[in-house]
Structure 1
Amino acid sequence: MTVPDSRLAAGDGRIHASAEIHPTAIVAAGATIGPDCRIGPFSQVGAAAVLEAGVSVGPHVVIEGHAHLGEGVQLSHGASIGLAPQDLKYKGEPTRTVIGARTMVREHATIHRGSVGGHGITTVGADCLIMVNAHVGHDCTLDHHVILANNVMLGGHVQIADTVFVGGGAALHQFVRIGRQSVIGGMSGVEADVIPFGAVLGNRARLTGLNLIGLKRRGFSRADIHQLRAVYRLLFRGAGVFQHRLAQAEAEYGAQPAVQEILAFIRGDSKRGLCRARRVAPLEEDDAEAQA
């Protein structure tokens, strides 16, 4: 995602004439409030904040630090944006929070700013939905169209690619990577990286297959899905050394872009290792194949 220039995040003290600010709200000198913004009762906006056009801030919201909210962002009652990271090494450095256009942050959700020990920035992409009581830790990177259901907990430095759904109450360990268009089952504890298009469940979470519903909704053909399932079974159900199976998957199926994406993800930089498949009975696997 494109991150706004850091100079903009300092704010230049402009409040557009069309902005609606409740009399009980506190907007610090230096904040930049764009056209058609609305700031609800008892909310607080810090001096270094930038709110682009059409941002809606509900009651009792707190926006602190160098926070940049894109056009049309909606913050519901009690949300907290840009507060200091929960990192004992943090000493008040001017790190940042960026939220992309049209993202919705629901009641009492929290998004902490970055840390010097990480990227120095926490980013949430466009068109995301952060549901009630979810927490996005410092230095996390969420791409576009990500959904975090109620009470999801992201440790610091988590990376989530486009169009990922994380079920309610799931907890993601710091530094975990979540591949594009994957799904995390509710109440799962995710300690390792999840491949693109994967589905995981459990405490501790294990791969249960592919996100078949998501693949169908996004226009993958039946042939493409069957090919992805063949790659999945080769990599995570096959016998022998994993690196040999990885090479075989590339040789047999590497021409398909989605397969290329999975292989590149597996070979990418990881601090947590790869989430592996749980054992399934043959009948269960056959049923899943039929549903594809």
Structure 2
Amino acid sequence: MVNRIHPTAVIGEGVELGEDNVIGPFTVIVGPARIGDGNWIGPHVTIGTPGEDRGREHPAAWESAPNGDPDHDGHGVVIGSRNRIREYVSVHQGTWRTTTIGDGGYFLRGSHIAHDCLVEDAVTVASNVITGGHCHIWAGANLGMGAILHQRVVIGPGAMVGMSSAVRKEVGAFTIAVGNPARVTGVNTVGLSRRGLDEATIEALGPWLKGKAGLPEDGLADRLPGDLSTLVKAWDARPRD
């Protein structure tokens, strides 16, 4: 299906669009950028402008084509498919890696994804959430209204961050973090139950989720439903500082 692009939107050189995207009034997308299929991108969205780094170039990429030099143009933005990106959202291009957004995310009004961030599939980023550069938000995470992420913060899969929380360190998989500074207050049992886990399984995973023990050695991780098994094992195997 064809893309529906409002005539007031600005699509710069070096922007690759898939199919069936909706792009609203006064939105600006500059290259290098690659956007998948079926995204709803609302009014006044800005994608691909330079990362907020005093030492970097700030080219007017909406006027001229990128020259292919990452030191001049940045490392760009890649956005997957079926995302809903509401009005006044901003996504900055990378400085040393591509700023990346996966599939099926919901980015509410006025949220910001900073340079070099990796945002995986099916995340929810509520209104006025601000991420610092280089953050990694794993699949299925939910960031509440007005939450702030310090640079290089990692949010685990299925984690929930409460509204107006200030996150300065890693939030573990399927945990809940609230406050300033944000502290983990429990396990996201609602999120786990929605993924098909019963109370006994959630209890068995509890020590691992709280960082007090490794994964159960009875092969529980292999028996988890859907993509949950893959997420749990990937989180368990991630590199630690």
TM-score w.r.t. the length of structure 2 is 0.85
Q: Does 1:89 align with 2:55?
A: yes
Question: How do 1:206-245 residues align onto structure 2 when only pairs under 5 Å count?
Answer: 206-232=183-209, 235=212
Corresponding residue number in structure 2 for 1:201: 178
Partner Cα separation in structure 2 for residue 260 and residue 43 of structure 1: 42
Is it true that 1:42 corresponds to 2:8 in the alignment? yes
Q: Which residue is equivalent to 1:269?
A: 240
User: How many Å separate the matches in 2 of 1:193 and 1:97?
Assistant: 24
User: CA separation of 1:200/1:154 partners in 2, compared to 1, >3 Å: closer, same or farther?
Assistant: same
Structure 1 segment 83-232 matched on structure 2, within 5 A: 83-91=49-57, 92-115=72-95, 118-119=96-97, 121-232=98-209
Q: Structure 1 unaligned segments of length 5 or more: list them.
A: 1-34, 236-248, 271-292
Q: Which residue of 1 aligns with 2:25?
A: 59
Q: Whole-Å Cα distance in 2 between the matches of residues 182 and 80 of structure 1?
A: 27
Give 2:63's aligned residue.
none
1 CA distance for matches of 2:236 and 2:139? 17
| 8 A Cα contact 1:231 1:253, kept in partner | no
Rg larger in structure = 1
Separation (CA, whole Å) in 1 of partners of 2:218 and 2:236 = 8
**CA gap 1:108/1:197 in 2 versus in 1, 3 angstroms:** same
**How far did residue 252 of structure 1 move?**
5.6
TM-superposed deviation, 1:144: 0.4
- Structure 1 residues 252 and 105, CA gap change in structure 2 (3 angstroms): closer
Q: Which residue type is aligned with residue 108 of structure 1?
A: Y
User: 2:220 matched to which residue of 1?
Assistant: 256
The structure-2 alpha-carbon separation of the partners of 1:178 and 1:234, relative to structure 1 and needing over 3 Å to count, comes to closer
Aligned length: 218
Which residue type is aligned with residue 157 of structure 1?
H
In structure 1, C-alpha distance between the alignment counterparts of 2:18 and 2:233, rounded to whole Å: 37
Q: Give the C-alpha shift of residue 152 in structure 1.
A: 0.3
Question: 1:192 aligns to what SS in structure 2?
Answer: coil
Relative to total residues, which structure has the larger helix share, 1 or 2? 1
Alpha-carbon distance in 1 for matches of 2:184, 2:77: 32
1:213 to 1:251, Cα distance in 2 relative to 1, 3 A: closer
Q: Structure 2: any 5+ residue segments left out of the alignment?
A: 58-71, 222-228
Residues 153 and 170 in structure 1, CA contact (< 8 A), matched pair in contact too: yes
The CA deviation at 1:251 is 7.9
Shift of 1:165: 0.5
Give the stretch that moved more between structures: 92-101 or 215-224: 92-101
- CA RMSD in angstroms comes to 1.9
Deviations 1:56-80 (A, max 9, x none): 1000100012111110111101000
Q: 1:197-217 deviations in whole A, cap 9, x for unaligned?
A: 111000000000111110010
Using the size of structure 1 for normalisation, the TM-score is 0.70
Provide the secondary structure at the position in 2 that maps to 1:250: coil
